[in-house]
Structure 1
């Protein structure tokens, strides 16, 4: 077996898509459409940092990381393996990839049916369990639109920005995007709708659309504790759906919700979302004194 860096994004994307379509090999960070994976790899990954395992000239394993140097945090893409010697290949890829030597937090987000990878993380890497999640989906043909009344956040309004950031940080204490980070990501297809009461921001929904692939995601939805159970979350969610399905014409919408967020889960289900995957999160924490 030979371990070496990749030389072709397209080759990697096609192999990832093929393997990730199988529930017992599925990684939550990665999609199943080769074109979409190819686009993400080109935008967010360094080709020479994607490591491949070869056996008799054929790719049998892939390991890559989507990382942030400042936060020292890396999402683990893989190992994707299509060979009966699964454990040997996984060990070799992990041991020989240079990024695994970094003193970073490594995060795994994998299908519950991916038992081989769960065993590898817990038994060989000493990873720790970090929660269960649902990936929910809804198709455009299933959506009943309303007349949109949503309000985009005004980036020149410093009070709105400050109140949104505070609400986001209170609602999601360890989110993958900070409030300031969300504001930096806003554009024509990444939108932040807010709900105001007495001139104060008390609710918001942040969404991202990918028109090229007719897909979209609702990344965050939050409502101030004092204003919950008033239908604000439902209204914000409806605004997001109308924008993504109506204006961006996406065909499929997905979102992730923690298993312990039962109220949110029931809200999404009541609006027509169905469960696509059940995922589990694990992490390897960096050494604090290193």
Structure 2
């Protein structure tokens, strides 16, 4: 068995399409549309490269790649295994090291695995990656009613532009809609509610409704760091839930929260949210080891 760098898109795509993916990180980052998949893989071939273990007949046994999202920052996709091969921690470590060693030691390699559905802890331990946080994907089917301080919550107004932009940009950094994109999207199905008090914007929630699918999503929400633990976030979420369920013919609302604090996540049960699924995130940086 040896490690090689692959450059043939068709060879890579054919293997991935027929491989065992149960141990693959960031599996959901592979787009569904064929054209998008091809574009992503071709970018990965160029940077940082697609690496594989092959047998004596030059047949691929295991394959790994990564998608770049910032300078020296990658999301690792894989490993993908030949279906007659049993996952092997040592071989995974060897293959990943080939990928990691092709970049500077300060490069961040990020992993994401679905809790309860994937095997990953031993893999992450052996390469000495560190746990970062968990993305919790929550769902609710119930309206918990209007809030006591509804007078503090209002629809977005251009007068709030600078305060909203600053709060949004300080809260969300990567792979998100910009403040201007959110504002430009506002219509009968996209709503931005802000929490105003003492003349200050202290929080916001952005709600997207897909009535044809009978569901909605709380896409973004935040409260200002100076006013945390004052119930502002829960008031905003409660208001958004009540508005959506009472205004539209929907039966589900989705919501994602990123946290290391399981107890905090459990508090959302008070709003009727339950964990739909969760992704554990890990980070590997050679210079940190």
State the TM bucket, normalised to the shorter chain: 0.5 to 0.7
Matched, 1:87 2:86: no
Give the 3-state SS of the residue equivalent to 1:275 in structure 2: strand
C-alpha contact 2:135 2:278 (8 A) present in aligned 1: yes
- CA distance in 1 between partners of 2:285 and 2:34 (Å): 25
Q: Flag the 1:136–1:42 CA change in 2: closer, same or farther, 3 A.
A: same
Matches within 5 A, 1:14-25: 19=21, 25=23
Q: What is the CA distance between 1:138 and its match in structure 2?
A: 1.3
Question: In the alignment, which residue of structure 1 is the partner of 2:107?
Answer: 104
- CA distance in 2 between partners of 1:199 and 1:253 (Å): 31
Q: What is the CA distance between 1:232 and its match in structure 2?
A: 3.0
Q: Which has the larger radius of gyration?
A: 2
Question: In the alignment, which residue of structure 2 is the partner of 1:143?
Answer: 142
Matches within 5 A, 1:58-137: 61-70=62-71, 72-81=72-81, 83-87=85-89, 90-91=92-93, 93-95=95-97, 97=99, 101=103, 103-113=106-116, 117-124=120-127, 126-131=128-133, 133=134, 135-137=136-138
Q: Flag the 1:12–1:203 CA change in 2: closer, same or farther, 3 A.
A: farther
**Residue number among 183, 186, 199 corresponding to 2:179 in the alignment:** 183
Question: Where does the alignment leave 5 or more consecutive residues of structure 1 unmatched?
Answer: none
Q: Flag the 1:123–1:261 CA change in 2: closer, same or farther, 3 A.
A: closer
The one-character-per-residue Cα deviations of 1:188-228 (angstroms, maximum 9, x if unpaired) are 57754321113321111245678898776545432235655
Give the 3-state SS of the residue equivalent to 1:120 in structure 2: helix
Q: Flag the 1:105–1:214 CA change in 2: closer, same or farther, 3 A.
A: farther
Q: What is the CA distance between 1:183 and its match in structure 2?
A: 0.9
Matched, 1:38 2:32: yes
Aligned length: 266
Question: In the alignment, which residue of structure 1 is the partner of 2:236?
Answer: 236
- CA distance in 1 between partners of 2:65 and 2:211 (Å): 26
C-alpha contact 2:143 2:241 (8 A) present in aligned 1: no
Question: In the alignment, which residue of structure 1 is the partner of 2:257?
Answer: 256
- CA distance in 1 between partners of 2:249 and 2:222 (Å): 23
Q: What is the CA distance between 1:84 and its match in structure 2?
A: 0.3
C-alpha contact 1:52 1:63 (8 A) present in aligned 2: yes
- CA distance in 1 between partners of 2:38 and 2:173 (Å): 15
- CA distance in 1 between partners of 2:225 and 2:143 (Å): 28
C-alpha contact 2:24 2:113 (8 A) present in aligned 1: yes
- CA distance in 1 between partners of 2:13 and 2:271 (Å): 37
Give the 3-state SS of the residue equivalent to 2:32 in structure 1: helix
Question: When the two structures are superposed, what TM-score results if normalisation uses the length of structure 1?
Answer: 0.63
RMSD: 4.9
